[in-house]
Amino acid sequence: MALKITSGCVNCWACEPLCPSAAIEPASPHFRIDPAACSECAGEYADPQCASICPIEGAIVDASGAALNPPGSLTGIPPRLLEQTRARIQAR
Amino acid sequence: MESKQAGHDRKTPTSGCAAGGCGGGSALDRLPAATRERVRNHPCFSEDAHQHYARMHVAVAPACNIQCHYCNRKYDCANESRPGVVSELLEPQQAADKVAAVAAHIPQLSVVGIAGPGDPLANPERTFATFRLIAERTPDLRLCVSTNGLALPEAVDTLCRYNIEHVTITINCLDPDIGAEIYPWVFWNNRRVRGRKGAEILIEQQQLGLERLVERGMLVKVNSVLIPGVNDQHLTEVSRAVKAKGAFLHNLMPLIAEPEHGTFYGLMGQRAPRASELRALQTECAGDMAIMRHCKQCRADAVGMLGEDRSAEFTLERIATLEIDDAAALARRTAAREAIEQRRRGVAPALVPLSTLSASRPRPATHAARIAVASSDGRLVDQHFGHAERFLVYEVDEQGERLLDERPLARYCNGAEHCDEDDDALAPALAALADCAMVLCSRIGLAPWERLETAGIRPNGELAMLPIEQALRAAHRELAERGALSIDEPQRATLSA
Ligand code: SF4
Ligand code: SF4
Ligand code: SF4
């Protein structure tokens, strides 16, 4: 059981100091999670810490490849409401 | 990553009346004399000082603990710099070395700030280690830090311990419903907290942080980003509230939201305020609060005088090769300061807002123009029009100039094949400069000259090799003399509103 960082990562360092297992390390071209060390924060926190601060949708995925922060989840705008929101914002 | 706050107190250098209550006048008048004196030499605060003293930012703090809709975390914190800018991340030791190198070469350096590229207080270890190292090596430099405020209340003791001279908090709202339109989430107590609830936490922390800092005698400046249709009606209230709590200066900044910056607002088509809207709000707030007007929204690794950026001269490789005699450099800085002060003597210590504070004094109508510059280093007008790969676009009026945007031509290519064909080689440049009245370059060929003129963009090669600021002033004068400027005055904004 481990999370994984994808190429969406912008190397912002936010996740690294939060990891209770010290499983996250800067790497090239982007940060990586040591799969042997990552516990998905089980027993430590209710939510995986890296995925709770990561600002990039899709940058952290679980073992099945599913994004912990799927599209729309961080902007707060679900994709199906995008057009509506755009129209509302453009009317400002 | 909570920074460990030792609970013990440390006296701050200001005297007792910083928390207000001395009555009378503007926020600036209420400042203790010692504080006023410090602000007097700060290039970002004092309109007069910014012509004499230099500042630099070091980019040591990458992480952030909130999301702002006008920010793309690929780039630097948009609360402090223009969006779309990437600063080279430094380790604290590298930052202190860079500061020492700059201080040895630019003796007018008076202030070092940490403003990003993320939120400095979301990176407390790096931020405070940097301040400690700078204070050891270049103790005469004054330090400042800016923050979104989320982690501020808990950091106040440490900030006072490190003897930070002033703190900038970006406060865009007091109302969590408005906050929810600006901040989609904050990271709080090991959770991502979204929407109104997240905004509420952020607002509470900002206000608490402001109160605690003022209590301790720290200078606090507040930044607000003017977002039309979101907080434009609300910012006068923000201005009043932060003044009442003891902030000494309010800096109202325009939202910059271009689609190519990839921010939420940019992609969704949120419009930026017009220059007239910004000025109208600044004027409205100036009745209540000292307002800052010459902010240049510098990048997180800016170096030099305000409005210029010499960071390219101080790369890590170059710094590594420099031998610096810290004591000699300190002596040069002391001498430079004395010379500056001699020159300034007799000049009243005009703090930024005082000249513009009075709401009753009519402000002259200003004439704004967008002017593009071809420059290889961001300092001089030094590029051939045909060699420029990007243009710097400024908004210029009688009061000064503000860098709006860096426009790489690649952004305006509709596919590479298209741009390679001869007859269309100019198309990207014409598209990039479409909203500009003039473009400054060192030289330009006849064909592009004619195409630009036809498109209503005046090419100008006569200001070659001048510093950009100086060239822009001359260009603005030239446009004014030709009657090529539109009037952009607060009154008109009110009428058409
Ligand atoms: S899920 Fe938890 S343990 Fe795994 S990398 Fe993220 S923070 Fe570390
Ligand atoms: S928080 Fe996300 S974007 Fe930032 S370094 Fe970690 S994985 Fe990359
Ligand atoms: S505080 Fe700064 S870095 Fe963080 S999201 Fe806002 S603008 Fe970006």
Say if the Cβ atoms of A86 and B67 lie within 8 Å: no
> Does residue B277 sit in the same domain as residue B378?
no
End-to-end CA distance of chain A: 46
CATH of the domain at B267: 3.20.20.70
Confidence class for position B289, pLDDT limits 50, 70, 90: low
- Examine residue B338 and state whether it is found in any structural domain, yes or no: no
User: Which tokens is B482 given?
Assistant: 């030709």
Say what the pLDDT of residue B312 is.
Answer: 74
Say what the pLDDT of residue B4 is.
Answer: 32
> Does residue B197 sit in the same domain as residue B112?
yes
Q: Is the pLDDT of residue A15 over 70?
A: yes
d(C-alpha B158, C-alpha B347), whole Å: 37
For range B121-135, the mean pLDDT: 94
On average, the pLDDT of chain B sits at 79
Q: Is the minimum distance from the CB of B145 to ligand 3 under 6 angstroms? A: no
User: Which tokens is B306 given?
Assistant: 């305000």
CATH of the domain at A40: 3.30.70.20
What range does the domain containing B473 cover?
Answer: 354-494
Nearest-CA distance from B76 to chain A in Å? 10
CB count within 10 Å of CB B439 equals 26
What range does the domain containing A64 cover?
Answer: 1-92
> Does residue B293 sit in the same domain as residue B377?
no
Q: B160 near B101, Cβ under 8 Å?
A: no
Say what the pLDDT of residue B331 is.
Answer: 87
Say what the pLDDT of residue B406 is.
Answer: 84
Say what the pLDDT of residue B24 is.
Answer: 30
Residue whose CA is closest, atom 2 of ligand 3? B77
Say if the Cβ atoms of B73 and A10 lie within 8 Å: yes
Q: How many domains does chain A have?
A: 1
Q: Is the pLDDT of residue B10 over 50?
A: no
Say if the Cβ atoms of A52 and B190 lie within 8 Å: yes
Confidence class for position B294, pLDDT limits 50, 70, 90: low
Please write the tens of the pLDDT for every residue from B163-191. 688 899 999 999 999 999 999 999 999 99
- Examine residue B17 and state whether it is found in any structural domain, yes or no: no
Say what the pLDDT of residue B496 is.
Answer: 33
Please write the tens of the pLDDT for every residue from B46-103. 556 666 778 888 899 999 999 999 998 887 787 776 666 777 889 999 999 999 999 9
Give the residue on A whose Cα is nearest the Cα of B75. Answer: A10
> What is the predicted ipTM?
0.95
> Does residue B303 sit in the same domain as residue B444?
no
Chain A contacts to B (CB-CB under 8 A): 10-14, 16-18, 45-47, 49, 52-53, 55-56, 74-76, 85-86, 89-92
> Does residue B236 sit in the same domain as residue B147?
yes
Say what the pLDDT of residue B204 is.
Answer: 98
Please write the tens of the pLDDT for every residue from A65-78. 999 999 999 988 87
Please write the tens of the pLDDT for every residue from B208-257. 999 999 999 898 999 999 999 999 999 999 999 999 999 988 889 899 88
Please write the tens of the pLDDT for every residue from B458-469. 999 888 888 898
Q: Is the whole model's pTM more than 0.80, yes or no?
A: no
Q: Give the C-alpha distances (Å, rounded to integers) separating B90 from A12, B31, B286, B424.
A: 13, 35, 38, 42
CA B150 to chain centre: 20
Per-position DSSP letters for B285-336, written without gaps between them: HHTTS-EE-------TT-EEETT---GGGS-HHHHHH----HHHHHHHHHHH
